[in-house]
Amino acid sequence: MDLQRLVDTFEFLDNWEDRYQLLIDLGKDLPAFPEDERIEDNRVEGCTSNVWLVSRISEEEQPRLHFQADSDAFIVKGLVAILMKAYSGKTPQEILDLDIEQLFERLGLGQQLTPNRRDGFVAMVKQIRSRAHATAHA
């Protein structure tokens, strides 16, 4: 499911329980995260649950960042899946230009997530954007 289809699906669902289930399903569809990458250096600081994030840079003329992430919490895994759809495979500039807060609100997540989960989401975004910024200015 691409990002626009995801937004359309969220907008179609009219209650939080259905959106909550969709988040869980998105998390279940994440690719397997390598066990050897579940180390402290890959853990995202600021998340209440454990979240691990790794990235690699493609060796194209215009480099793209590819992310892989996982969490030990079902809802957070769904948030991770959304971020992977939004950011993975993009150029550093595309990552920096994306208004993730607008996407977050369009999905109706701003009003439904606990402050801790929202803080975790923000921490993941900061880490992704930081890696994009470092890549763009390397």
CATH number at residue 33: 3.90.1010.10
Catalytic residue among 44, 47, 82, 107: 47
Model pLDDT for residues 45-69, shown as the tens digit of each residue: 988 899 999 999 998 888 999 999 9
Residue with tokens 């649950």: 49
State pTM to two decimals. Answer: 0.91
**Number of independent structural domains in the chain:** 1
Q: How confident is the model at residue 1 (pLDDT cuts 50, 70, 90)?
A: low
Compare 91 and 138 and report the one with higher pLDDT.
91
Closest CA to 80 of 21, 129, 31, 18: 31
Domain encompassing residue 117: 3-136
User: What gap in Å lies between CA 23 and CA 80, rounded to an integer?
Assistant: 9
What was the pLDDT predicted at 80?
95
Residue 68: strand, helix, or coil: strand
Tell whether the model's pLDDT for residue 110 goes beyond 90.
Answer: no
Residue 67 has which token pair? 């992310």
Catalytic (active site) residue 47: yes
